[in-house]
């Protein structure tokens, strides 16, 4: 099953663009560029269900636990968000109910439907990251994020690193360890489901050719990881050449 926490830069009309100009909403602070297209392409390639967030992370970040400071940011990577300043408890609760919990409720429903045959789906969360942050270059082409359950992450890291042209990050450029990685923790780790968060650098997803290339690469690896998790020993290790 595919999920995408930062698929959209949409701001509901009642929030009046949160006081931002349209240019700001095209930036990474508002969404993960290329992530939605990659998620949809992977879902089509794999014949797998997918759930994508419907609002910008500036409305509420669906990959953050409700109530944490970065859940509804008044400042995001140096960009002030006027519509998030001095929010009432009622407005925070409304956003959590209408957007955060609606998204996570759909994930839970889709997972439950997929598990009717008794098999836990592999949950893959798709994200993208900027080539630079605060003028510091990020050399990774792809990052694999995880917390305590590293079954899928270790399999993907080993497989991706066999491609000598890729720089692969292990919990880089972000960490999947607690308290980060809320969605995978909520629907994967706490439920015992195999899961992983995949970050692809945005410049590699900037056109159809890039989306297609990463869809083909990741689809093959996710299928191989699924088979490895289902192996009798339950460990997603080995399987050299599966990619």
What angle, rounded to 10 degrees, do the helices at 35-46 and 208-229 form?
Answer: 50
Q: Report yes or no on 243 lying in a domain.
A: no
> Quick count: other Cβ atoms within 10 Å of Cβ 243?
18
Q: What's the pLDDT at 234?
A: 55
Q: How many residues does the chain have?
A: 243
Residue among 10, 60, 59, 15 nearest 36 (CA): 10
Query: Which residues of the chain fall below pLDDT 50?
Result: 237-243
Q: Report yes or no on 238 lying in a domain.
A: no
Q: What's the pLDDT at 242?
A: 31
d(CA 34, CA 212): 11
How far apart are the two ends of the chain, measured CA to CA in Å? 19
Using the structure block, give the residue that is written with the tokens 């990020």: 138
Number of compact structural domains in the chain: 1
Q: What's the pLDDT at 19?
A: 97
Q: What's the pLDDT at 235?
A: 54
Q: Report yes or no on 161 lying in a domain.
A: yes
Q: Report yes or no on 242 lying in a domain.
A: no
Q: Report yes or no on 183 lying in a domain.
A: yes
Alpha helices in 6-119 (DSSP H): 22-25, 35-46, 89-95, 101-114
Q: Report yes or no on 239 lying in a domain.
A: no
Helix (H, G, I), strand (E, B) or coil at 147: coil
Percent above pLDDT 90 for the chain: 87
Q: Report yes or no on 240 lying in a domain.
A: no
Task: Give the residue numbers spanning the domain of 140.
Answer: 2-229
CATH number at residue 120: 3.40.630.40
Helix (H, G, I), strand (E, B) or coil at 185: helix
CB of 97 within 8 A of CB of 32?
no
d(CA 77, CA 36): 21
Q: What's the pLDDT at 238?
A: 36
Q: Report yes or no on 236 lying in a domain.
A: no
């Amino acid at each position: 099953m595919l999920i995408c926490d930062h698929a959209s830069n949409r701001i509901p009309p009642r929030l009046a663009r949160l006081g931002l100009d349209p240019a700001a909403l095209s930036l990474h602070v508002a969404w993960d560029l290329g992530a939605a297209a990659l998620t949809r392409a992977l879902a089509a390639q794999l014949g797998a269900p997918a759930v994508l967030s419907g609002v910008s992370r500036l409305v509420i970040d669906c990959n953050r636990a409700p109530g944490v400071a970065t859940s509804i940011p008044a400042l995001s990577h140096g960009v002030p968000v006027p519509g998030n300043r001095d929010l009432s408890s009622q407005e925070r609760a409304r956003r959590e109910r209408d957007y955060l919990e609606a998204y996570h409720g759909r994930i839970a429903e889709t997972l439950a439907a997929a598990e009717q045959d008794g098999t836990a789906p592999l949950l893959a969360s798709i994200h993208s990251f900027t080539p630079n942050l605060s003028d510091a270059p990020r050399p990774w082409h792809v990052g694999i994020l995880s917390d305590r359950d590293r079954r899928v992450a270790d399999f993907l890291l080993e497989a991706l690193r066999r491609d000598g042209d890729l720089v692969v990050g292990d919990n880089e450029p972000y960490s999947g360890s607690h308290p980060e990685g809320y969605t995978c923790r909520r629907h994967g780790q706490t439920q015992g489901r195999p899961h992983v968060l995949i970050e692809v650098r945005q410049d590699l997803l900037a056109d159809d050719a890039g989306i297609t290339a990463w869809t083909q690469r990741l689809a093959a690896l996710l299928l191989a990881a699924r088979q490895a998790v289902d192996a009798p020993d339950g460990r997603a290790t080995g399987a050299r050449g599966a990619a």
